[in-house]
Chains A and B, each alone.
Chain A
Amino acid sequence: MKSHFISDSDFSKFVESLIRSVRVVAPVAKKTKFSFETLESVSDLRLDYDVTILPPKKAIMPVKQELVRFNGNSIESAISAQDQVLLGVHFYDVKAIDMLDELFSQGHKDYNWLAYRQHTTIIASNVQKVSNRAFFASVGQGVQAKGHDGFLTKVSGGYVFDAISPKAEALVKQGTFKDASPAQVTEAKVANEKVLKECPETLKHSTEAVQKKVREAFKKEELWKQFSDQCFSCGSCNIVCPTCYCFDVQDEWNLDGTSGKRCRTWDGCMLGEFAQVSLGGGHTENFREERHTRFRHRMMRKATYLNDKLNGPACVGCGRCSSSCVPDIADPVKIINKIMEA
């Protein structure tokens, strides 16, 4: 890996030229918040964002994605991936994308994720401002961010750019990059270490201790009922989560009435009907009918169930669920710390 330096003005020129050659998805302002969008101009780029409303996974698996297309009795794959650059991804979201790479690869390989992922170059960037619910410093400490191609860190007068993959080295050739000086490398290192001390919230126990105790708390029905007492079952915590990947699959007709498509859309295990089956005659069986059983399932998935597959929790500490929850009961830090202390 090589560390380069690019000045602020050269960085702007570099991004402008990048936009002209490839789709660039990057954080832009959306009123008082931030969102990953296709970048139209470098002046829209906001690498000083704290956290985006939705995670950058949407650039790889959009909220609604075509899987197959049919016409009469013929049917074809809808996979069609174009090269893109995902710019300005914070390290916690890099971790989340890496987890989804793993989960969509295990067992049946799902190229409806993997194809788009393979054609995505990820240029991460340092957290310049910590969001007010972040706890990324204390969650899954043994899990390293990986899978990204390069990493930008804001330093005085420009950026230090760590080129990790050959794709990143190729990008370096398109801009006016110099070798980073030892002082610049140190400045970047300090900035990335400093931000880990600025999280407003902290998980107090290790991943392993949390996994064990949260799993053992499954049958503490009263506790889960207390946690979920004010839950609307709205699914916001699922939808904003960078590691949630549950989906629904539905068919849609085109206007011609003979052709159409089968799509998947993001789904959420907190929604009332998520695990419900029809039995016929209007009867149903819901395998997680009560609200607290769904609330518990989400926490189990984040802190225990997937740990063995991922070598860590399925949570990266972005704090999006905490800030999106209207009654403010979804915060994993509050839930887990309370279970650990119970």
Chain B
Amino acid sequence: MSCDCHTDFPNIFLPREAEIVRADQVTASEKHFTLKMKDGKPMEYNPGQILEVSVHGFGEIPIGFASSPTRKNTFDIVIRTVGRVSTAINKLGKGDSLFVRGPLGTGFSLEKLRGHPILIVAGGIGLCPTRSLIQYVLDRRDEFKSFKLFFGSKSPKDQLFLDDLAQWRGSEHVEYLETVDKGEEGWKGNVGVITTLFAKTKIDPDTRVIVCGPPIMYKFVMRELDKLGIPHDNVYVDLERRMKCGLGKCGHCQMNDKYVCFDGPVFSFKDIEHLEEAFS
């Protein structure tokens, strides 16, 4: 019997090939990749959006863009070795291929940030997705008022993007404040949780605030922002959940009635603070 198979349909699970043009092991467990699309069609995305990254035979994982779309032709991702897929990805190097689907999800609403002071509060690996916005603000500095960046890590050796950090420390374009939960020999900077940085600078109540970090961090940062009188619709959070499809279908990332992969991962705090599953 002949097969009357119909195959001419678009397939949202079909990824595109990207070449690794640079790969740096940046910490013991994290690798920083710069990718370029093989088909020549550039990846067009907004800061804060995500993509599904895969290795054939190992599977896909959702990852936030770690570079700004203002940096043309290539884009960055950072992968922490955690499970089967991330381990497979982190064995790859320059010249190897990764497969990507995206951009997916909802990123930062740039029109709501433009013209205002900006504060980004990033904890740990939360610096990776927010780097897409940090670079954007630095590249389009005139579009924003003051720019402050708080970065907290577990320890100095867990710090990511060391070249960036060195640049930001001395930059006149961003007021960069950093802290580590636990210092080590040679560390002269602040020691303490990320909220200890709030006492070190003056924050304009008109500031638009972006928060991304481990789940525990949000409630403590919100407490500080409430003290400053920053309205909740001026606060944006970039959330993490288990995601499989990245398309708002498979259900894994669901937080009450929201799909973090589709409705987010960036949300206005005001839009989700009433959701019982958002920050519990």
Residues of A within 8 A of B (CB): 67-68, 70, 72-73, 75-83, 103-104, 106-112, 114-115, 119, 218-219, 245-253, 260, 262, 264, 267, 269, 274-280, 285, 287-288, 293, 297, 300-301, 304-306
Contact = CB atoms under 8 A, between A and B. Distances in A.
Give the bracket for the number of chain B residues in contact with chain A.
35 or more
Contacts of A300: 256-257
B244 A77 contact: no
Interface string B239-262: 011101101111111111100001
Contact of A279 (B82, B97, B241): B82
Nearest to B245: A249
A19 B133 CA distance: 59
Nearest to A306: B257
Name B's interface SS: loop
Contact of B9 (A77, A245, A264, A267): A77
A275 B252 contact: yes
Interface of B: 3-7, 9-15, 17, 29, 54, 56-60, 80-83, 97, 99, 215, 240-242, 244-245, 247-257, 262, 276-277
Nearest to A253: B57
A127 B183 CA distance: 70
Contact of B262 (A72, A107, A248, A262): A107
B57 A260 contact: yes
B13 A73 contact: no
Contacts of A278: 82-83
Contacts, number: 144
A82 B83 CA distance: 37
B10 A248 contact: no
14 contacts: A73-B17, A80-B5, A112-B11, A112-B13, A245-B251, A249-B245, A249-B250, A250-B59, A251-B56, A264-B250, A269-B254, A277-B240, A300-B256, A301-B254
Nearest to B243: A277
Contacts of B253: 275
Contacts of A78: 11
B56 A280 contact: no
Contact of B59 (A72, A83, A106, A262): A262
Nearest to A115: B9
B93 to A, nearest CB: 15
Given A80-B5, A267-B250, A285-B215, A67 B11 contact: yes
Contacts of B252: 246, 248, 267, 274-275
Contacts of A285: 215
Given A218-B276, A277-B240, A280-B80, A111 B250 contact: no
Contact of B242 (A76, A81, A276): A276
Given A75-B56, A119-B6, A219-B276, A248 B14 contact: no
A17 to B, nearest CB: 16
A-B pairs with the 5 shortest C-beta distances?
Answer: A246-B251, A77-B11, A305-B257, A111-B9, A70-B56
A158 to B, nearest CB: 31
B248 to A, nearest CB: 5
A305 B277 CA distance: 13
A83 B4 contact: yes
> Chain A CB within 10 Å — which of B29, B240, B245, B253 has the most?
B245
Given A287-B241, A287-B277, A300-B256, A77 B249 contact: no
B251 A70 contact: no
> Chain A CB within 10 Å — which of B17, B249, B257, B276 has the most?
B249
Contacts of B249: 103-104, 107-108, 110, 245, 247
